[in-house]
């Protein structure tokens, strides 16, 4: 497809010969699952329980509805729906129609959605009329006016939509009795466009093929030992790569298990579901894991979550919180260091506790190629094990370029096809990765380099500190100075800057790493998936 950097043919053939890429499209894969697991429950959304066979039937109806509406193979459709049956059937159905869904998050608004529609050249958009109490109809109207190529906007709503919009549920109804066959979908084509998690500007579009995506799903399901008894609670947005494929709900489908949808629930409700529904696997970002740990003593006093594997990823999980997850929730823990561009690292189910608590795991596939390079001299030979540097990677499920981004190609990818992750990592002697931060977030203070993650981890060890984030702020004399933001444990007194600096010094931290300023916030700002929003913090750092 135009705008996509393909895998080199020789490598593609190797991945096929190795049976990593099986030449099966996601819709064909799901049809096979529907035949195999037919009457088993695939999805639970509130009161609605849907079997594999029923879900496949619903996806087929959506696919026909889209075809009847004029959506053709390789057309892009931006998909923005909250967690639930509609999202799942529309995602599977759009792929079955041969279209390419662009996976937006529920929290995206006009600026992001407009950028996705334009960049993808989308012909359709699926969005809710209201979400989380916010009326999105004005947004939908603005998008229709702004994006010329957008032919249809399907609104998920209970009533009839206003003129000019289609009702999402009409799609499945229109398609239910049409006889049209789905177009064949090639497994080497782009299946979906994921969004980059980068914190700068509007996310870039990530073209993942059926072959590469399904490989990561199957391998992840196997690594996490999923089976037909697996019960997954979708707590994060189901379009995010973590919840979708690592192993996520697609991985659970692959094993014949059951996916339960949660949307915008408070930690207390999530704990109740985790316990009552005997959930075996769920994915969380650290801020959500922290919220669960904090709510547990009150809401889950004696029912520990023994049967649960809690996956934590998306941002660095510090040791203190990792320990609390194990001790307070009583579940198993897996760290997941992944990226929508491809590479996913997992701590293994049989890894020693220290590895699970202190590392971000190792690559999913033996065919993942990783190297750690000097961020200031990336052309030099890779750094030895143990040294901190930028992680670069290529492999059977990592993209070779962003969608339609010739201009950014050499900035984000090397000439030999490695993706420059922008992540600073170190590899232990055993081959596990420890994430040390992002290149762009390093603070250069008066000639010294500071890794914010290191300082943040020490700050969180203070008994009154709940969460911490350190950013660099421009400074006339030092180039940059360091500014720490903290939130305080409920009921604790706010420690002064001097107290915190003394605390860090007592922990043996070098003087230049001590924050120049400390500011308390009720809550640290979060990105749309719940990672700490460092850009927002940098902007808000009060000028001296
Ligand atoms: C996941 O994907 P994205 O695309 O939203 O974000 C990727 C970036 C990584 O490059 C890294 O900077 C950060 O998020 N990250 C982590 C991390 N997991 C992701 N940083 C430290 N520790 C971790 N465990 O966030 C994502 C995709 C698939 C599975 C899991 C997470």
CATH of the domain at 372: 3.40.50.12780
Please state the atom number of ligand 1 nearest to the C-alpha of residue 283: 30
Q: Does 18 map to a domain?
A: no
Q: Is 337 in the pocket of ligand 1 (CB under 6 A)?
A: yes
Mean predicted confidence (pLDDT) in 478-504: 94
In the predicted model, is pLDDT for residue 183 greater than 80? no
Q: Are 430 and 322 contained in the same domain?
A: yes
The domain tally of the chain equals 3
> How confident is the model at residue 178, as a pLDDT?
66
Decide: 285 and 236 in contact? Cβ < 8 Å.
yes
Q: Is 313 in the pocket of ligand 1 (CB under 6 A)?
A: yes
Q: How far apart are CA 49 and CA 252, in angstroms?
A: 16
Mean pLDDT check: name the lowest of 3-7, 174-178, 536-540.
174-178
Q: Which residue has its alpha carbon closest to ligand 1 atom 22?
A: 316
Give which of 24, 124, 119 is closest to 79, Cα–Cα: 124
The structure tokens listed for 7 are 């895998």
Please state the atom number of ligand 1 nearest to the C-alpha of residue 313: 24
Q: Are 286 and 414 contained in the same domain?
A: yes
In the predicted model, is pLDDT for residue 200 greater than 80? no
> How confident is the model at residue 20, as a pLDDT?
98
Q: How far apart are CA 156 and CA 373, in angstroms?
A: 47
Q: What is the domain-level CATH number for residue 153?
A: 3.40.50.980
Q: Does 109 map to a domain?
A: yes
Comparing 74 with 202, the larger pLDDT belongs to: 74
Residue 527, domain extent: 442-540
Decide the pairing of beta strands 443-445 and 448-450: antiparallel
Q: Are 452 and 428 contained in the same domain?
A: no
Q: Does 200 map to a domain?
A: no
Q: Which residue has its alpha carbon closest to ligand 1 atom 8?
A: 339
- First CA to last CA distance, the chain: 51
Quote the ligand 1 centre to 435 CA distance (angstroms).
Answer: 10
Q: Is 316 in the pocket of ligand 1 (CB under 6 A)?
A: yes
Mean predicted confidence (pLDDT) in 532-544: 83
* 123-167 confidence digits (pLDDT tens): 999 999 999 889 999 999 999 999 999 999 999 988 888 999 999
Mean predicted confidence (pLDDT) in 369-396: 94
Q: Is 456 in the pocket of ligand 1 (CB under 6 A)?
A: no
Model confidence at 197, in pLDDT bands (50, 70, 90)?
Answer: confident
Q: Does 17 map to a domain?
A: no
pLDDT above 90 as % of the chain: 90
> How confident is the model at residue 430, as a pLDDT?
95
Q: Which DSSP state fits 328?
A: I
Q: Does 295 map to a domain?
A: yes
The last residue of a domain, from among 389, 412, 438: 438
Q: Which residue has its alpha carbon closest to ligand 1 atom 9?
A: 339
Please state the atom number of ligand 1 nearest to the C-alpha of residue 340: 4
> How confident is the model at residue 234, as a pLDDT?
98
Site to probe by mutation for ligand 1, drawn from 338, 398, 457 as the one with most ligand atoms within 8 Å of Cβ, is 338
Quote the ligand 1 centre to 293 CA distance (angstroms).
Answer: 21
Mean pLDDT of the chain: 95
Q: How far apart are CA 250 and CA 232, in angstroms?
A: 10
Specify the pTM. 0.96
> How confident is the model at residue 158, as a pLDDT?
82
Quote the ligand 1 centre to 60 CA distance (angstroms).
Answer: 33
Q: Are 446 and 515 contained in the same domain?
A: yes
In the predicted model, is pLDDT for residue 387 greater than 90? yes
3-class secondary structure, 213: helix
The last residue of a domain, from among 143, 168, 185: 185
* 13-61 confidence digits (pLDDT tens): 999 999 999 999 999 999 999 999 999 999 999 999 999 999 999 999 9
Mean predicted confidence (pLDDT) in 368-387: 93
Q: How far apart are CA 143 and CA 153, in angstroms?
A: 9
Q: Are 489 and 457 contained in the same domain?
A: yes
Quote the ligand 1 centre to 531 CA distance (angstroms).
Answer: 9
Q: Are 34 and 169 contained in the same domain?
A: yes
Q: Are 343 and 260 contained in the same domain?
A: yes
> How confident is the model at residue 301, as a pLDDT?
77
Give which of 113, 166, 119 is closest to 143, Cα–Cα: 113
pLDDT above 70 as % of the chain: 97
The last residue of a domain, from among 122, 150, 185: 185
Q: Which residue has its alpha carbon closest to ligand 1 atom 5?
A: 197
* 291-340 confidence digits (pLDDT tens): 999 999 998 877 689 999 999 999 999 999 999 999 999 999 999 999 99
Quote the ligand 1 centre to 347 CA distance (angstroms).
Answer: 14
Q: Are 320 and 395 contained in the same domain?
A: yes
Q: How far apart are CA 190 and CA 503, in angstroms?
A: 52
Q: Read off φ and ψ for residue 266, nearest 5 degrees.
A: -75, 155
Q: Does 499 map to a domain?
A: yes
> How confident is the model at residue 379, as a pLDDT?
86
Site to probe by mutation for ligand 1, drawn from 108, 202, 339 as the one with most ligand atoms within 8 Å of Cβ, is 339
Quote the ligand 1 centre to 525 CA distance (angstroms).
Answer: 17
Q: Are 231 and 353 contained in the same domain?
A: yes
In the predicted model, is pLDDT for residue 542 greater than 60? no
Quote the ligand 1 centre to 63 CA distance (angstroms).
Answer: 32
The structure tokens listed for 81 are 């729906």
* 88-117 confidence digits (pLDDT tens): 999 999 999 999 999 999 999 999 999 999
Decide: 51 and 39 in contact? Cβ < 8 Å.
yes
Q: Is 435 in the pocket of ligand 1 (CB under 6 A)?
A: yes
Residue pointed to by tokens 């702004």: 146
Q: Does 88 map to a domain?
A: yes
Residue pointed to by tokens 């001299």: 377
Quote the ligand 1 centre to 326 CA distance (angstroms).
Answer: 21
Q: Does 19 map to a domain?
A: no
Q: Are 326 and 353 contained in the same domain?
A: yes
Q: Are 224 and 269 contained in the same domain?
A: yes
Contact residues for 518 (Cβ-Cβ < 8 A; gap 6+): 483, 484, 485, 486, 495, 496, 497, 500, 501
Model confidence at 179, in pLDDT bands (50, 70, 90)?
Answer: low
Q: What is the domain-level CATH number for residue 461?
A: 3.30.300.30
Comparing 176 with 140, the larger pLDDT belongs to: 140
Q: Is 347 in the pocket of ligand 1 (CB under 6 A)?
A: no
> How confident is the model at residue 543, as a pLDDT?
65
Quote the ligand 1 centre to 451 CA distance (angstroms).
Answer: 17
Model confidence at 254, in pLDDT bands (50, 70, 90)?
Answer: very high
Mean predicted confidence (pLDDT) in 399-417: 97
Q: Are 493 and 423 contained in the same domain?
A: no
Q: Is 360 in the pocket of ligand 1 (CB under 6 A)?
A: yes
């Amino acid at each position: 497809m135009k705008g996509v950097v393909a895998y080199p043919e020789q490598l593609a053939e190797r991945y096929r010969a190795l049976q990593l890429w099986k030449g099966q499209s996601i819709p064909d894969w799901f049809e096979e699952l529907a035949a195999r697991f037919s009457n088993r429950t695939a999805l639970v959304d509130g009161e609605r329980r849907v079997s594999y066979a029923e879900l496949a039937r619903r996806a087929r109806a959506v696919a026909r509805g889209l075809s009847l509406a004029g959506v053709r193979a390789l057309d892009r459709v931006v998909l923005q729906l909250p967690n639930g049956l509609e999202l799942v059937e529309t995602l599977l159905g759009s792929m079955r129609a041969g279209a390419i869904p662009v996976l937006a998050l529920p929290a995206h608004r006009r600026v992001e959605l407009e950028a996705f529609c334009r960049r993808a050249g989308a012909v359709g958009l699926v969005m809710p009329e209201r979400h989380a109490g916010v009326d999105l109809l004005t947004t939908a109207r603005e998008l229709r006016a702004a994006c010329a190529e957008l032919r249809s906007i399907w609104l998920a709503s209970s009533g009839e939509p206003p003129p000019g919009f289609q009702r999402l549920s009409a799609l499945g109804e229109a398609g239910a009795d049409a006889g049209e066959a789905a177009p064949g979908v090639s497994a080497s084509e782009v299946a979906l466009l994921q969004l980059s998690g980068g914190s700068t500007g509007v996310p870039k579009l990530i073209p993942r093929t059926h072959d590469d995506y399904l490989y990561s799903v199957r391998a992840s399901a196997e690594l996490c030992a999923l089976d037909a008894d697996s019960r997954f609670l979708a707590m994060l947005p189901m379009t995010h790569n973590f919840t979708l494929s690592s192993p996520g709900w697609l991985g659970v489908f692959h094993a014949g298990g059951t996916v339960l949808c949660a949307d915008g629930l408070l930690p207390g409700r999530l704990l109740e579901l985790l316990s009552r529904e005997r959930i075996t696997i769920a994915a969380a970002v650290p801020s959500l894991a922290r919220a669960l740990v904090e709510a547990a003593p009150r809401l889950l006093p004696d029912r520990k979550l023994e049967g649960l594997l809690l996956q934590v990823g998306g941002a660095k999980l510090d040791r203190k919180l990792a320990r609390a997850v194990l001790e307070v929730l009583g579940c198993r823990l897996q760290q997941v260091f992944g990226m929508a561009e491809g590479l996913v690292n997992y701590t293994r189910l049989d890894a020693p506790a220290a590895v699970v608590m202190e590392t971000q795991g190792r690559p999913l596939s033996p065919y993942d190629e990783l190297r750690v390079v000097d961020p200031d001299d990336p052309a030099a030979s890779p750094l030895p094990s143990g040294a901190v540097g930028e992680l670069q990677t290529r492999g059977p499920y990592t993209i070779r370029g962003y969608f339609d981004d010739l201009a950014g190609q050499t900035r984000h990818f090397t000439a030999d096809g490695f993706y420059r992750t922008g992540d600073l990592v170190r590899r232990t002697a055993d081959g596990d990765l420890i994430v040390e931060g992002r290149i762009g977030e390093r603070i250069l203070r008066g000639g010294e380099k500071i890794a914010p993650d290191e300082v943040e981890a020490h700050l969180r060890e203070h008994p009154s500190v709940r969460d911490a984030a350190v950013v660099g702020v421009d400074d006339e004399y030092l180039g940059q100075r360091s500014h720490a933001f903290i939130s305080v444990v409920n009921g604790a007194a706010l420690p002064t800057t001097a107290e915190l600096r003394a605390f860090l010094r007592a922990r043996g931290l070098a003087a230049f790493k001590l924050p120049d300023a400390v500011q308390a916030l009720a809550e640290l700002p979060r990105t749309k998936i719940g990672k700490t929003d460092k850009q927002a913090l940098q902007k808000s750092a009060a000028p001296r």
